[in-house]
């Protein structure tokens, strides 16, 4: 018998991670799984509310599950990533990263640019990159499966839009993915 009460999917730079939480309200059991691997197991917790903290992904991103009583024997479970609610984290991430999904030679690739550090991730691996200044902005070059890739950063000319990042693979533009 399983006491699975919540499942979340969280997109980080190194991939999309599945977080599952079991809460046995009669036994007091709490179990946290990240990508199917058990991270925390507590048996016979007499306090049914509280917080479980753990890390997610290759970058050891801080995560916490808050357990709150809402009424009687009903509970609410909220996930925090880096101290922010999942909703706030996702909104912030949309501003600080760009993500592209593409298929090269029959293999799917998820490429993520972290705008604050200019780090590039591909399928969970931080890529070796070479940056250069060009006439209209910057270019960050890297290789994926023997395909030359370049992220061009150019000013939009509009203050609110800021810098526009475009992924070019084998001289063709890849549309940005919405996660």
94: helix, strand or coil: helix
Q: Would 28 be classed as within a structural domain?
A: yes
Domain end among 47, 82, 117: 82
Which stretch of DSSP H or E encloses residue 145? none
- In 93-136, which ranges are E strands? 97-104, 107-114, 119-122, 125-126, 130-134
- Same domain, residue pair 71 and 140: no
Please give the model's pTM, rounded to 2 decimal places: 0.84
111-156 tens-digit pLDDT: 999 999 999 999 999 999 999 999 989 999 999 999 999 999 998 8
Domain membership flag for residue 87: no
In a domain, 89, yes or no: no
Question: 57-76: per-residue pLDDT in tens?
Answer: 998 999 999 999 998 778 99
Residue 105 shares a structural domain with residue 78: no
Does one domain contain both 77 and 34? yes
CB 66 within 8 A of CB 51: yes
pLDDT value at residue 157 = 83
Number of domains the chain contains: 2
What pLDDT digit, counting tens, does each position of 68-109 carry? 999 877 899 999 999 999 999 999 998 999 999 999 999 999
Asked whether residue 23 falls in the same domain as residue 78, the answer is yes
Phi, psi at 137, each rounded to 5°: 160, -135
Find the domain containing 115 and state its range: 94-174
In this structure, the answer to whether residues 104 and 164 fall within a common structural domain is yes
- How far is Cα of residue 56 from the mean position of the Cα atoms in its chain? 9
Residue 88 belongs to a domain: no
In angstroms, the first-to-last Cα distance of the chain is 33
Claim to verify: residue 54 and residue 78 sit in the same structural domain = yes
User: Residue 88, SS3?
Assistant: helix
pLDDT category at 47 given cuts 50, 70, 90 is confident
CATH of the domain at 123: 2.40.128.180
Residue 72 or residue 37, greater confidence: 37
Query: pLDDT-based confidence at 160, cuts 50/70/90?
Result: confident
In a domain, 116, yes or no: yes
* 60 and 99, same domain (yes or no): no
Residues 76 and 24 in one domain: yes
115 occurs within a structural domain: yes
* Joined tokens for residue 159: 């203050």
């Amino acid at each position: 018998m399983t006491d699975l009460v919540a499942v979340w999917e969280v997109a980080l730079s190194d991939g999309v991670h599945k977080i599952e939480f079991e809460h046995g309200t009669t036994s007091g059991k709490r179990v946290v799984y990240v990508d199917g691997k058990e991270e925390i197991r507590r048996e016979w917790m007499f306090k049914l509310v509280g917080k479980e903290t753990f890390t997610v992904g290759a970058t050891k991103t801080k995560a916490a599950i808050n357990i709150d009583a809402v009424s009687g024997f009903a509970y609410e479970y909220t996930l925090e990533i880096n101290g922010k609610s999942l909703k706030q984290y996702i909104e912030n991430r949309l501003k600080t990263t760009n993500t592209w999904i593409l298929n090269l030679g029959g293999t799917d690739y998820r490429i993520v640019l972290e705008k604050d550090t200019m780090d590039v991730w591909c399928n969970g691996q931080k890529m070796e990159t070479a940056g250069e200044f060009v006439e209209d902005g910057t270019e960050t070059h890297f290789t994926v499966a023997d395909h030359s890739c370049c992220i061009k950063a150019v000013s939009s000319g509009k203050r609110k839009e800021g810098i526009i990042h475009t992924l070019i693979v084998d001289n063709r533009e890849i549309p940005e993915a919405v996660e």
